[in-house]
């Protein structure tokens, strides 16, 4: 099996000539919300769990403040 010149992981027998670009893209992105974090902010959040935990904490603070000001 000979690899293609421009990509060593792609073998010559792989044929994508009849492939449809983005065929599953919509299905893949459904229910996904991607957000680009600036590098200075990303330094403090090493993974998605830390970001989600922080945002949930902020949500709780916002809810409590809304309740306090609504009274």
Number of domains in the chain: 1
**Would the pLDDT of 12 be above 90?**
no
Is 41 a domain residue? yes
Tell the residue number behind the tokens 């599953």, with chain if given: 24
CA–CA separation, 1 vs 10, rounded Å?
A: 10
- Residue 48: domain span: 36-70
Residue 49 belongs to a domain: yes
45 lies in some domain: yes
Q: Is residue 65 part of a domain?
A: yes
pLDDT bin (cut points 50, 70, 90) of residue 13 is: confident
16, 17, 19, 25 alpha-carbon torsion, rounded to 10°: 80
Contact 57, 71 (CB under 8 A): no
Is the distance from CB of 14 to CB of 3 less than 8 angstroms?
Answer: no
- Give the pLDDT of residue 4: 61
- 43 within a domain of the structure (yes/no): yes
Question: Is residue 60 a part of any domain in this protein?
Answer: yes
Residue at 59 is within a domain: yes
Q: Decide if 20 contacts 10 (C-beta within 8 A).
A: no
Q: What is the pTM of this model?
A: 0.51
27 within domain boundaries: no
């Amino acid at each position: 099996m000979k690899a293609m010149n421009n990509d060593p992981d792609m073998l010559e027998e792989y044929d994508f000539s009849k492939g449809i670009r983005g065929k599953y893209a919509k299905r893949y992105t459904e229910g996904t919300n991607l957000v680009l974090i600036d590098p200075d902010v990303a330094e403090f959040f090493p993974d998605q769990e830390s970001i989600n935990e922080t945002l949930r904490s902020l949500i709780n603070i916002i809810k409590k403040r809304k309740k306090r000001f609504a009274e």
